[in-house]
């Protein structure tokens, strides 16, 4: 790979040999043109980034390449031949593979069983473990074929999906937001693998909102805005800020914050313990935490260390023992989510589709789902639809949710726009305590900045805010204090003033000296 100005042979080839060519692709949905006359090409062995703010049309485009969406107009060629896959099986047959943001794996089965299940023409069972080991060694992706998938980390689960793709020797590998669930170490491993694949001639189409990663990995980037190609650049020679500004067409504002004195204690977790809710869940162990009015506490940790369980214990989806979760001096561990909303405890879980929002319900109905109690959207047992619509509308306006309107179903929103809606719905209820898990997951740079600003503003207005996030930069940007969640245990929170990413990394690994060093901070 050439990062020093000289051009390697591979890089020259990449520039000249086109693998996939897209010409004039157009796809409209009711009320929105998702892709409008999109043309660009991907070279052989090229790592090509697809950039664009939420709703710009990235997923629609890759779904077209993968045979999940039929374009209204335009055409594609693959290695010079006309290419119009009628379904994903046909796309895979032509050498296109895709690793989705959400993994489709069976927890109770082994790695080898999962991989065999997901392949069109799996090798015989006896051979599959050997093939997995071969590919895993060749591409530096450590994975044991006999492990039960439920016991794997998010990074290892992703490797299962990648190895499944690699067993089919793809010519183009599409990756949609692959690093949002990975630790920094896992990101490095993934990037090494992708570079190796590229060196060997596999093309990669890479969707991400993490512009620093794009700069470190990709050879070329195509930028979409409102469904149209608005530019192309060499990410290695373009700053993250320049790329973000090309995406949104305006100048970005960094969130503004003051380190104000925190107020009275609002949320208090005392020796919070709870058994794992299911076989692959995590038990919460003796968690101690106090969050004051005006404070943002950031909780970091590798996925699967108790994040979901902690959100459930706070939101009321999981009940806990007397005195373990206390708000304004009252024990609330036995209250339902609705009873908690009534006293001002709101939460937004990580999974937006199916958990935070019901995919087949409209935005008005989804606004009602959690907003009914605090926004008083019903009277004498009758739903007040006009008021619910107004509430949905105010979320759409305040959080710049790109959608035709309140009667659109949640499913029809792009991932990032649904995320803005879900977070906005909770923030606009002005909760006393807000707990959010991965608040800017899959959200573009401009929208992430506005969500972070809204969380800071909520705290500045006197709320206690708990932000659980795997994005350490996000935590440093908005949290007053930081604690690490590790196998269901929470470290002692430390001030984020002067805290470095390296120190946080050590805390995530359970280095308790670091906790002690910062305990007085
Ligand atoms: N099945 C659908 N029905 C109706 N509208 C849709 C559908 N799928 C996508 N859209 C709309 O098409 C537009 C482009 O969406 P798309 O998911 O391609 O964007 P994206 O760039 O991938 O966004 P994100 O970064 O948020 O994932 C959005 O306005 C979205 O609401």
- Residue corresponding to tokens 């900045």: 449
Nearest residue to 318 (alpha-carbon basis) of 292, 281, 370, 354: 281
Q: Which residues, 6 or more positions from 371, have their beta carbon under 8 angstroms from its beta carbon?
A: 377, 388, 391, 425, 428, 429
* d(CA 207, ligand 1 centre) in Å: 14
* d(CA 481, ligand 1 centre) in Å: 36
Q: How far apart are CA 328 and CA 344, in angstroms?
A: 10
Closest approach atom of ligand 1 to CA 63: 18
Collapsing DSSP to helix, strand or coil, 374 comes out as coil
What is the per-residue pLDDT for 520?
Answer: 37
Per DSSP (E only), the strands in 228-361 are: 228-233, 265-274, 284-292, 296-300, 325-327, 330-331, 345-348
Closest approach atom of ligand 1 to CA 227: 14
Residue 403: phi and psi, rounded to 5, are: -160, 155
Average pLDDT for residues 222-238, to the nearest whole number? 94
Show the tokens assigned to 230.
Answer: 């608005």
Ligand 1, pocket-test mutation among 28, 30, 34, 69, most atoms within 8 A of CB: 34
Instruction: Give 254's pLDDT tier (boundaries 50, 70, 90).
Output: low
Q: How far apart are CA 361 and CA 382, in angstroms?
A: 18
- Helix ranges restricted to H, 235-358: 240-248, 307-315, 337-342
What is the per-residue pLDDT for 194?
Answer: 95
Q: How far apart are CA 466 and CA 483, in angstroms?
A: 11
User: Contact, 297 vs 480, CB < 8 A?
Assistant: yes
Q: To which H or E segment does residue 514 belong?
A: helix 512-518
Q: Taking the alpha carbons of 192, 197, 203, 204 in that order, is the dihedral positive or negative?
A: negative
Q: How far apart are CA 164 and CA 115, in angstroms?
A: 5
Average pLDDT for residues 208-237, to the nearest whole number? 93
User: Contact, 22 vs 40, CB < 8 A?
Assistant: yes
* d(CA 139, ligand 1 centre) in Å: 33
Q: How far apart are CA 267 and CA 433, in angstroms?
A: 7
Q: What angle is formed at CA 261 by the lines to CA 258 and CA 262, rounded to 5 degrees?
A: 110
Q: How far apart are CA 393 and CA 406, in angstroms?
A: 6
* d(CA 405, ligand 1 centre) in Å: 14
> What CATH architecture is 1-95+171-186+193-251?
3-Layer(aba) Sandwich (3.40)
Stronger pLDDT, 369 or 261, i.e. the higher one:
369
pTM comes to 0.70
Average pLDDT for residues 431-450, to the nearest whole number? 89
Give nearest CA residue, ligand 1 atom 18: 57
* d(CA 59, ligand 1 centre) in Å: 7
CATH class of 265-518: alpha beta
What is the per-residue pLDDT for 244?
Answer: 82
Q: Taking the alpha carbons of 112, 118, 119, 122 in that order, is the dihedral positive or negative?
A: positive
What is the per-residue pLDDT for 511?
Answer: 44
Using the predicted structure, report yes or no on whether residue 67 has a pLDDT greater than 80: yes
Q: To which H or E segment does residue 387 belong?
A: helix 385-398
* d(CA 414, ligand 1 centre) in Å: 4
Give nearest CA residue, ligand 1 atom 5: 412
Q: How far apart are CA 24 and CA 64, in angstroms?
A: 12
Ligand 1, pocket-test mutation among 27, 35, 59, most atoms within 8 A of CB: 59
Closest approach atom of ligand 1 to CA 402: 29
Give nearest CA residue, ligand 1 atom 1: 412
Closest approach atom of ligand 1 to CA 53: 25
Which range among 82-96, 164-178, 242-256, 263-277 shows the weakest confidence by mean pLDDT? 242-256
Using the predicted structure, report yes or no on whether residue 24 has a pLDDT greater than 60: yes
What is the per-residue pLDDT for 7?
Answer: 45
**Is it true that 1-95+171-186+193-251 and 265-518 share their CATH fold?**
yes
* Cα–Cα distances in angstroms (integers) from residue 63 to residues 60, 115, 269, in the given order: 5, 22, 44
| Average pLDDT, rounded, for the chain | 88
Q: How far apart are CA 210 and CA 243, in angstroms?
A: 11
What is the per-residue pLDDT for 182?
Answer: 78
Using the predicted structure, report yes or no on whether residue 252 has a pLDDT greater than 70: no
Q: Which residues, 6 or more positions from 351, have their beta carbon under 8 angstroms from its beta carbon?
A: none
Using the predicted structure, report yes or no on whether residue 288 has a pLDDT greater than 80: yes
Q: How far apart are CA 346 and CA 338, in angstroms?
A: 9
User: Contact, 177 vs 100, CB < 8 A?
Assistant: no
Give nearest CA residue, ligand 1 atom 3: 412
Q: Where along the chain do its domains lie?
A: 1-95+171-186+193-251, 97-169, 265-518
User: Contact, 88 vs 68, CB < 8 A?
Assistant: yes
Q: How far apart are CA 473 and CA 25, in angstroms?
A: 36
Which range among 22-26, 114-118, 291-295, 336-340 shows the weakest confidence by mean pLDDT? 114-118
Q: Which residues line ligand 1 (CB under 6 A)?
A: 29, 32, 34, 52, 54-60, 402-403, 412-417, 442
pLDDT tens-digit series, residues 45-64: 999 999 998 889 999 999 99
* d(CA 253, ligand 1 centre) in Å: 25
Collapsing DSSP to helix, strand or coil, 332 comes out as coil
Encode burial over 304-336: b for 16+ CB neighbours within 10 A, e otherwise: bbbbbbbbbbbbbbbebeeebbbbeeebbbebe
Instruction: Give 123's pLDDT tier (boundaries 50, 70, 90).
Output: confident
pLDDT tens-digit series, residues 370-380: 999 999 999 88
User: Contact, 164 vs 173, CB < 8 A?
Assistant: no
* d(CA 184, ligand 1 centre) in Å: 29
Give nearest CA residue, ligand 1 atom 7: 412
Which range among 217-226, 445-454, 462-471, 504-513 shows the weakest confidence by mean pLDDT? 504-513
Average pLDDT for residues 24-30, to the nearest whole number? 95
Give nearest CA residue, ligand 1 atom 17: 414
Displacement of CA 209 from its chain's centroid (Å) = 9
Give nearest CA residue, ligand 1 atom 24: 54
Q: How many residues does the chain have?
A: 521
* d(CA 175, ligand 1 centre) in Å: 17
Burial status of residue 273 (CB atoms within 10 A of its CB: 0-12, 13-18, 19 or more): middle
Average pLDDT for residues 174-192, to the nearest whole number? 85
* d(CA 384, ligand 1 centre) in Å: 29
pLDDT tens-digit series, residues 128-166: 999 999 999 988 888 999 999 988 887 888 899 999 999
């Amino acid at each position: 790979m050439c990062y020093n100005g000289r051009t390697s042979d591979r890089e020259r080839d990449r520039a000249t040999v086109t693998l996939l060519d897209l010409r004039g692709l157009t796809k409209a949905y009711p009320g929105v043109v998702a892709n409008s006359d999109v043309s660009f090409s991907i070279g052989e062995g090229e790592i090509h980034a697809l950039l664009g703010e939420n709703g710009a049309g990235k997923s629609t485009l890759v779904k077209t390449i993968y045979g999940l969406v039929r374009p209204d107009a335009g055409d594609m060629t693959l290695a010079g031949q006309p290419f119009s896959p009628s379904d994903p099986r046909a796309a895979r047959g032509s050498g296109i593979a895709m690793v989705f943001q959400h993994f489709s794996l069976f927890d109770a089965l082994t790695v080898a069983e999962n991989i065999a299940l997901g392949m069109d023409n799996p090798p015989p069972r006896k051979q599959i473990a050997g093939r997995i080991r071969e590919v895993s060694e060749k591409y530096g992706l450590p994975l044991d074929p006999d492990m039960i998938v439920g016991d794997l980390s998010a990074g290892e689960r992703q490797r299962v999906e990648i190895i499944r793709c690699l067993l089919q020797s793809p010519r183009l590998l599409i990756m949609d937001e692959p690093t949002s669930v990975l630790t920094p170490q896992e990101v490095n491993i993934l990037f090494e693998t992708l570079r190796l694949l590229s060196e060997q001639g596999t093309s990669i189409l890479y969707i991400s909102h993490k512009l620093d990663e794009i700069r470190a990995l990709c050879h070329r980037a195509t930028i979409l805005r409102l469904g149209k190609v608005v530019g192309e650049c060499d990410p290695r020679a373009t700053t993250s800020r320049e790329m973000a500004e090309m995406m949104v067409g305006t100048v970005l504002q960094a969130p503004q914050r003051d380190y104000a004195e925190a107020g009275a204690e609002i949320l208090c977790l005392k020796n919070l313990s709870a058994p794992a809710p299911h076989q692959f869940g995590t038990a919460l162990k003796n968690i101690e935490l106090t969050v004051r009015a005006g404070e943002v506490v950031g909780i970091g940790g590798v996925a699967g260390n108790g994040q979901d369980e902690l959100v459930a214990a706070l939101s009321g989806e999981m009940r806990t023992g007397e005195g373990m979760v206390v708000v304004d001096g009252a024990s609330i561990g036995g209250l339902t989510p609705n009873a908690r909303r009534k006293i001002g405890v709101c939460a937004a879980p990580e999974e937006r589709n199916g958990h935070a929002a019901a995919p087949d319900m409209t935005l008005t109905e989804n606004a009602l789902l959690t907003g009914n109690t605090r926004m008083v959207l019903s009277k004498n047992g009758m739903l007040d639809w006009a008021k619910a619509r107004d509430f949905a509308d105010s979320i759409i306006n305040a959080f710049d949710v790109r959608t035709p309107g309140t009667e659109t179903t949640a499913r029809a929103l792009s991932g990032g726009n649904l995320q803005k809606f879900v977070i906005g719905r909770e923030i606009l209820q002005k909760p006393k305590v807000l707990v959010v898990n991965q608040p800017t997951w899959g959200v573009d740079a401009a929208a992430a900045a506005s969500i972070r600003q809204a969380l800071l503003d909520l705290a500045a207005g006197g709320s206690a805010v708990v932000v659980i996030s795997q994005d350490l930069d996000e935590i440093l940007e908005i949290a007053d204090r930081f604690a690490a969640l590790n196998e269901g245990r929470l470290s002692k929170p430390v001030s984020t003033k002067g805290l470095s990413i390296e120190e946080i990394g050590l805390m995530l690994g359970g280095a308790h000296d670091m906790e002690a060093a910062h305990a007085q901070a």
